[in-house]
């Protein structure tokens, strides 16, 4: 069974551009979480989607947004990129909210 997959693996953008990151959850998982992992700051919660709806949102500006598709895959969009958005973006999926979350390998976003 395939695990959580994210694409692209690496992404380089210039300041002011938009970035789109994608996540495919484990088959049967309905919840998708997005986390930002910047150096020295641990895992910062961005967004949580479940059954196609946004369930919770972290303390990030509105230019961080996303959606979940009917097949439970998800997109994270970051508009008006800033240098400090450079980080590893991790997606995780779970079956419900009280069970183990499995992480993808991440997308390394670099803003220059």
List of residues contacting other proteins (CB under 8 A): 33, 35, 40-43, 45, 48, 55-56, 58, 90, 92, 97-98, 100-106
Q: Can you read off the two tokens belonging to residue 62?
A: 């509105």
| Comparison of 81 and 92: residue with beta carbon closer to other proteins | 92
Beta carbon of residue 21, minimum distance to other proteins (angstroms, whole number):
15
| Comparison of 42 and 62: residue with beta carbon closer to other proteins | 42
Q: Can you read off the two tokens belonging to residue 108?
A: 């390394």
Beta carbon of residue 105, minimum distance to other proteins (angstroms, whole number):
5
Q: For residue 33, how many C-alpha atoms fall within 13 Å in the half-sphere facing its CB?
A: 19
| Comparison of 24 and 81: residue with beta carbon closer to other proteins | 24
| Residues ≥6 apart with Cβ < 8 Å to 4 | 23, 24, 25, 26, 91, 92, 93, 102, 103, 104
Beta carbon of residue 15, minimum distance to other proteins (angstroms, whole number):
26
**Do 50 and 97 meet the contact criterion of CB atoms below 8 Å apart?**
yes
């Amino acid at each position: 069974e395939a695990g959580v997959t994210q694409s692209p693996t690496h992404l380089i953008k210039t300041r002011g551009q938009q970035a789109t990151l994608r996540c495919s959850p484990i088959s049967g998982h309905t919840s998708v979480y997005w986390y930002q992992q910047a150096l020295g700051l641990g895992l910062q919660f961005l967004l949580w989607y479940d059954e196609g709806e946004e369930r919770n949102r972290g303390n990030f500006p509105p230019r961080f947004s996303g959606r979940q598709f009917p097949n439970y895959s998800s997109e994270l969009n970051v508009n008006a990129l800033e240098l400090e958005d450079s980080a590893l973006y991790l997606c995780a999926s779970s079956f419900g909210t009280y069970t183990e979350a499995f992480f993808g390998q991440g997308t390394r976003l670099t803003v220059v």
